[in-house]
Amino acid sequence: MTATALAGRARRYDSARVRADFPIFERQVNGRPLTYLDSAASAQRPRAVIAAVDHYETHLHANVHRGVHALSQEATAAYEGARERVRRFLNARSTKEIIFTRGTTEAINLVANAFARPRLGSGDEIVLTRLEHHANIVPWQMAAAATGATLRVAPIDERGELRFDEFSALLTPRTRLVATAHVSNALGTVLPVARIVAAAHARGIPVLLDGAQAVPHGGADVQALGCDFYAFSGHKIYGPTGIGVLYGREALLREMPPWQGGGDMILSVSFEGTTYNDLPWKFEAGTPNISGAIGLAAAIEYLDSIGPAAVRAHEQQLLATATAALQQLPGLRVIGTAAEKAAVLSFTIDGIHPHDLGTILDHEGVAIRTGHHCAMPVMDFFGLAATARASFGCYNDLTDIDRLVAALHKAHEVFG
């Protein structure tokens, strides 16, 4: 074999090896090998993450930032080390800009409460898109209701792409914030976030990006994106549940009041008054999810060891193959056909309710998500109550697509 061929082979994505890192695939579901196509809801964990959490729980656990004893010091070092790992992953300038949260939802609520509410008044506007997950709608509705502000929603087209000109037209001197998904969870659409940030910043408007569905498919560079806030969840990038991250530009975080009070977010407390801790701890009241942060750092390390770009290229190949295969099936309609998509494939089949589809597929060992995907305005746009959604992760391969297609044929037999 030539050196070039050898190099080509080395570069080839070894999905079998990646899959072997995930012990969940050793089990069967309904007597079948597991075909897991629901990573957009929550991804599976590699052994490296399970081991990191286990090591912490077995050898290191104590509360952080509170003890002079050895265990507390070691737990603190591991927790703050995890923060530094996240900083590097996002290419943030400082760990002061990395706040651990319970997930994307809590990160967005933090910004809605501590950034938006104090700045909003009657007549002010927040601009969203039609593609948002409920987590990037409801906190803004609550903030608007409390302050007299209004939400403006940028429309999408039949492919599930943002109508950029109409989005731009919504940016006015009344706009206080743009909050948009980086990738749509319901359709997979990759939003033109660089253009969105540029258009908003040209008018002095800060931008929050919901990166829950973007980070698993290639990471995110907050300096390159230029956004002011970026949110993501650990469990969608092969880490634990109950841990997530808010990146915030330091200057903005400094100006923001804390949104929850309690231990660890203070420097001193008396009944006369309280002084708040420095960043990032000002926003982390109470004992944090220490093992979750450590597991998240291990997940990032794992993703980096495969290479986010390699994962992305592999998933794109799966998406293209699955889309072509599914489009051959009678009555199947792909919902969301944007030019640029992450590895999310939403579809309907004439005459079969998505929930029935999900149940039949489950009998075949194929896990997909069905329903409105916590994105009811997207469903509403397409005149649907629900879709079936297959989403791909680093451990999927062409066999999973074969099994999905075979299970869909089975559904046709049952309902045909």
> Using CB atoms within 10 A of its CB, is residue 133 exposed (0-12), middle (13-18) or buried (19+)?
buried
Task: Report which residue type is found at 376.
Answer: M
The verdict on 143 binding ligand C6P (CB under 6 A) reads no
Three-class DSSP category at 222? helix
Neighbours of 198 (CB within 10 A): 12
76, 105, 129, 147: which one contacts ligand C6P (CB under 6 A)? Answer: 105
22, 35, 89, 103: which one contacts ligand C6P (CB under 6 A)? Answer: 103
19, 130, 133, 341: which one contacts ligand C6P (CB under 6 A)? Answer: 133
- Joined together, the tokens standing for residue 238 give 């092969």
* Nearer to ligand C6P (CB atom), residue 136 or residue 277: 136
117, 130, 282, 373: which one contacts ligand C6P (CB under 6 A)? Answer: 373
212, 298, 343, 361: which one contacts ligand C6P (CB under 6 A)? Answer: 212
In angstroms, what is the minimal distance from the CB of 111 to ligand C6P?
Answer: 13
Detail the DSSP E strand segments found in 22-72.
28-29, 32-33, 35-36
In angstroms, what is the minimal distance from the CB of 369 to ligand C6P?
Answer: 5
Per-position x/- string for 337-356, each x denoting binding to ligand C6P as judged by CB under 6 A, each - no binding: --------------------
* Nearer to ligand C6P (CB atom), residue 133 or residue 314: 133
Stretch that binds ligand C6P, among 48-56, 128-136, 138-146, 273-281 (CB under 6 A): 128-136
**What residues have CB less than 8 Å from 83, skipping those under 6 apart?**
95, 98, 100, 280, 293
In angstroms, what is the minimal distance from the CB of 409 to ligand C6P?
Answer: 25
In angstroms, what is the minimal distance from the CB of 9 to ligand C6P?
Answer: 35
The verdict on 35 binding ligand C6P (CB under 6 A) reads no
Instruction: Give the whole-angstrom CA distance, residue 189 versus residue 214.
Output: 10
> DSSP letters of 268-327?
EEETTEEEEPPTTGGG--SS--HHHHHHHHHHHHHHHHH-HHHHHHHHHHHHHHHHHHHH
* Nearer to ligand C6P (CB atom), residue 75 or residue 404: 404
The verdict on 104 binding ligand C6P (CB under 6 A) reads yes
Q: From the candidates 24, 332, 374, 376, give the one annotated as an active-site residue.
A: 374
The verdict on 40 binding ligand C6P (CB under 6 A) reads yes
Of residues 163 through 192, those in contact with ligand C6P by CB under 6 A are: 181, 185
The verdict on 160 binding ligand C6P (CB under 6 A) reads no
Phi/psi-derived region of residue 336, left when phi > 0, alpha when psi is between -120 and 50, beta in every other case: left
76, 109, 180, 233: which one contacts ligand C6P (CB under 6 A)? Answer: 233
In angstroms, what is the minimal distance from the CB of 202 to ligand C6P?
Answer: 25
* Nearer to ligand C6P (CB atom), residue 390 or residue 407: 390
- For 379, half-sphere exposure in the C-beta direction (CA atoms, 13 angstrom radius) is 17
The verdict on 130 binding ligand C6P (CB under 6 A) reads no
CA dihedral 323, 327, 332, 337 (to 10 degrees): 50
Given a contact cutoff of 8 angstroms between Cβ atoms, the answer to whether 103 and 244 are in contact is: yes
- Strand (E) or helix (H) holding 53: helix 47-55
* Nearer to ligand C6P (CB atom), residue 170 or residue 181: 181
Neighbours of 220 (CB within 10 A): 21
User: Active-site residue 374, yes or no?
Assistant: yes
The verdict on 210 binding ligand C6P (CB under 6 A) reads yes
Residue with tokens 């938006």: 116
- Joined together, the tokens standing for residue 4 give 């070039």
Stretch that binds ligand C6P, among 81-89, 100-108, 194-202, 295-303 (CB under 6 A): 100-108
Instruction: Give the whole-angstrom CA distance, residue 253 versus residue 395.
Output: 37
Residue 83 Cα to chain centre, angstroms: 18
- Joined together, the tokens standing for residue 202 give 């040209």
Active site residues: 374
* Contacting residues toward ligand C6P, per CB under 6 A: 40-41, 103-105, 133, 135-136, 181, 185, 210, 212-213, 233, 369, 373-374
